[in-house]
Amino acid sequence: MIRVLLLCALAVGCLHDHYECERDSECDLGDAGRCEADHHCTAYDASCANTLRRYTEHSEAVSGTCFDGRVTPTNYCALGQPPAIATGCAATVCETQPACCTSGWSEPCVLAAQLECPEVVCDTRVAITGTRGARTELYDVRYDGQTWTATPRSDLGQLVAWAAPAPGSTEPRLVSFVAPDALVLESGGTTQTIAVDPDHAYHDVQSLDFDRDLRDTLVLEWAGITDTSQQDVEILETATGAVRELPVTVSTRMAWGASNADGYPDGVSSSGSRYNFLLNDVNRDTFARQLDFGTSSSFNGDPTPGAPSTRSFSWADIDGDTHQDLVAFGNSIRVHTASGTTSDNQPLGNIPFISMDCLGPSVLSDVNCISASEAWSGSVLPNTRAPGAAILAAPFPDRALYKITITGAKSIDVITLPLPVPSSPTCKPAPSLNQCAILAVVVRDFDGDHLPDILAIDSELTFDVALSSQDPMLRTFQEVQPITPVDPPLSGVRTSVSGAPR
């Protein structure tokens, strides 16, 4: 601890006590003392909105003020950053997406910035983790506004994903595991290697300011290799390698957004056909942040051979009330809305507002189509003319892509988007299992016209792309093949998306 005493040689005389810290253990005033990045101490204070933390005495000009815990994003096209200060582009985004300035810069924030801020034009980077039987294939795919390129990354182990830029940088970082005990961050020609536990099988990794402390942290999901009953979410600080484990139920993938309006990011994780809401809560005894995973839900569609029960999640404002909702894609499509829950910071509940299945699809409460064996993947398409968003849903094993607009608790409007006939000779027409089904859907502004575009990736890793600059209705898809098709087809594709200013 550094203590600086300044003696003022005035008639009356004065003493200024200035306290600087280097680590949390040096902050012993109040509950749950923490050393912030500016080397001043904060303590837990329930009266401080959002962060629940207040600077202690002897913190110079900020003494006694609430800790803000927000930043100006260095790159508006990269999710996983702390919540933004409401100025410039962020102020525009947070008018319709307030969680972006209170909980974290998540995927809805990136889309809103690309569509609403004229100065935000970025390239697109898609990290692909594909499964072909027992084999995993990794690709670094990029689009610069004109050309798609794909680099195979067989050197990167079993998982590849994009993390937010390092503090002070605009360049996203490619995360991978090059060895059982080594996590690697690549960015702009530099590489950082961090030791991890070799007995952990890591299933997911993302940037997340879980504690709202402005430290560069990654959240990792893992299961034990020796003891498979062990499952945890791990908070990893990249600067020090320090790890904090947050026990959860078994999980194979995560997505982070804002389940309620308490100022901290929340998540969702899958567990077979069930998914658990990961509520970022405070321990009332220690005042540390913890995960409450007591609320779960489950898909009500039949399992689909060759596909995981849970395929993807999307956080988005579906109903236009400015709060983030959750869309879960798996054996059915389930939408959990925040309407009526966030005024008193109540989190999303386990009962979906609407559930859909069947080729079409149809609302399950109206049509008994649970026997339809479809597994769904998808994304969310922002509405550029009105609040809310549509859902893009792709069934498996059939080749199709639907745009779904929810019009009521039991009503939807469905448009079938005309995908091109696949050119790969290994794609077979129905009822073949290899119909080149769409396994992943990405929505971003690819071409820089501040309108959303669609990328649909099929089981041959062929890209079907709809650009708003060519068709504002997004019903004209063109086939692109940056990756050479290989038989047999992929059974699963997981994407992690980011970008950098261009």
Measured CA to CA, the distance from residue 427 to residue 473 in angstroms comes to 27
Amino acid at 373: S
Q: Give domain status of residue 97, yes or no.
A: no
* pLDDT number for residue 218: 98
Q: Give domain status of residue 394, yes or no.
A: yes
Count CA atoms closer than 13 A to 272's CA, side-chain side.
6
Q: Is 451 helix (H, G, I), strand (E, B) or coil?
A: coil
Q: Give domain status of residue 233, yes or no.
A: yes
Is residue 185 located within the same domain as residue 58? no
Q: Residue 250: which pLDDT band, with cuts at 50, 70 and 90?
A: low
Q: Give domain status of residue 15, yes or no.
A: yes
Question: How many structural domains comprise the chain?
Answer: 2
Is residue 57 located within the same domain as residue 205? no
Q: Give domain status of residue 151, yes or no.
A: yes
Nearest alpha carbon to residue 392 among 436, 433, 356? 356
What CATH number corresponds to the domain at position 353? 2.130.10.10
* pLDDT number for residue 231: 83
The answer to whether residue 485 scores a pLDDT higher than 80 is no
The answer to whether residue 4 scores a pLDDT higher than 80 is no
Classify residue 272 by burial, with Cβ atoms within 10 Å: 0-12, 13-18, 19+.
middle
* pLDDT number for residue 10: 41
Higher pLDDT, 408 or 255: 255
Is residue 250 located within the same domain as residue 388? yes
Is residue 53 located within the same domain as residue 129? no
**Residues spanned by the domain of 42:** 2-62
Is residue 287 located within the same domain as residue 383? yes
For the ranges 70-79, 114-123, 378-387, 464-473, which has the lowest average pLDDT?
A: 378-387
The edge-to-edge listing of strands for the beta sheet with 34-35 is: 34-35, 41-44, 53-55
Higher pLDDT, 324 or 247: 324
What does pLDDT average to over the chain? 90
* pLDDT number for residue 306: 76
Is residue 29 located within the same domain as residue 171? no
For the ranges 8-17, 99-108, 365-374, which has the lowest average pLDDT?
A: 8-17
- Last residue of one domain, picked from the residues 38, 62, 86: 62
Phi, psi (5° rounding) for residue 25? -65, -15
Is residue 198 located within the same domain as residue 273? yes
DSSP assignment string, 294-348 = EEEEE--SPP-TTS-SEEEEEEE-SSSSSS-EEEEEESSEEEE--TTTGGGTPPP
Is residue 308 located within the same domain as residue 453? yes
The answer to whether residue 338 scores a pLDDT higher than 70 is yes
Going by their DSSP bridges, the two strands 160-163 and 41-44 should be labelled as unpaired
Q: Which two tokens stand for residue 268?
A: 């969702």
- Last residue of one domain, picked from the residues 32, 62, 92: 62
